[in-house]
Amino acid sequence: MKTTTEAPLTNESEGSGIRVIARAADILLALSNHPDGLSLREIAQFVKLPRSTVQRIINSLEESNFVIAASPTSGFRLGPTLTLLAEAVRPFDIARMARPLILQLATETGETVDMSILSHGKAVVVDQISGVHPLKAVSTIGTSLPLHGTSIGKSLLAALPEKELEGLRSHIQLKPLTKNTITNWDKLMAELKTIRETGLAYDNEEYMTGISSVATVMRGPGGELAAISLPVPTERFRAKEAELIEALMSRSQSFQRRL
């Protein structure tokens, strides 16, 4: 029997492997937004990597059918292996159950509705219905949002038990995202107290200049948390604020009672 001895994994090799995985993920995400496929040059432009680097990663992804040829002559698109992986992913129960809610909210308000869950110190967008207005706030499903600078993130923080919130404090950096971002824990904790009392969290251009939002949090039957937000261009948000809050609270409370 032939035996082999593997070289120990060094910090340098581990870091290199992580970078390759991150770059492969960026390539797959770029292709997910272009179902008809992209050329190597286009992929390189989207992910801001040298074409030679993209070629090496694509070759590896193609071996396992993570990507396949977009046509007999050129380009690449997502492959069937990703479908198998997607089918194996356990659905987020609260997200699946709350989809009718965000559809109703989007229809009623005409605005974009986001749904996020808490994951590793970020609010991760797991579902979204885009608004009907030409000027609107739209993120991508899978996007990670900062907890301290978004209404959806603050609503999730406010819903955490005190022990879990304290555990997160050492991992969350209160970085300034705009001039309005809360960067002081005392001020943020005071706002979280208000959110618990009112059930509403706000983002007053704290994450992105020109965008404001309101959010609330819900609990699934197993105690899992999901937050719903309405991100709207600030000028329209101010004109419709009362209407947006009424729709958000009415729909979410009705949904929570059914649960």
User: Range of 78's domain?
Assistant: 11-87
Share of the chain above pLDDT 70, in %: 90
Kindly state whether residue 3 falls inside one of the protein's structural domains: no
Averaged over 144-173, what is the pLDDT?
A: 91
Whether residues 67 and 119 fall in one domain: no
Domain boundary among the residues 87, 103, 128 is at 87
Kindly state whether residue 6 falls inside one of the protein's structural domains: no
Tell me, what CATH number does 72's domain have? 1.10.10.10
Determine the straight-line distance between the first and last CA of the chain, rounded to whole angstroms: 59
Domain boundary among the residues 45, 70, 87 is at 87
Kindly state whether residue 194 falls inside one of the protein's structural domains: yes
Whether residues 82 and 138 fall in one domain: no
At 2 the pLDDT is 41
Residue carrying structure tokens 């209404």: 151
How many domains does the structure of the chain reveal? 2
Measured between alpha carbons, how far is 142 from 145 in angstroms, rounded to an integer?
Answer: 10
Whether residues 99 and 149 fall in one domain: yes
Tell me, what CATH number does 152's domain have? 3.30.450.40
Whether residues 98 and 184 fall in one domain: yes
pLDDT tens readout for residues 6-35: 444 455 555 677 888 989 999 998 998 888
At 98 the pLDDT is 84
pTM over 0.95: no
pLDDT of 74 over the 80 cut = no
Whether residues 72 and 108 fall in one domain: no
Q: Is 97 exposed, middle or buried (0-12, 13-18, 19+ CB in 10 A)?
A: middle
Domain boundary among the residues 55, 87, 119 is at 87
Q: Which residue has the higher pLDDT, 240 or 8?
A: 240
Amino acid at 4: T
pLDDT of 192 over the 80 cut = yes
pLDDT of 91 over the 70 cut = no
Averaged over 228-237, what is the pLDDT?
A: 95
Contact status, residue 131 vs residue 154, Cβ threshold 8 Å: no
Whether residues 98 and 82 fall in one domain: no
Whether residues 119 and 180 fall in one domain: yes
Averaged over 214-231, what is the pLDDT?
A: 89
Kindly state whether residue 5 falls inside one of the protein's structural domains: no
Q: Which residue has the higher pLDDT, 7 or 225?
A: 225
Kindly state whether residue 2 falls inside one of the protein's structural domains: no
At 254 the pLDDT is 86
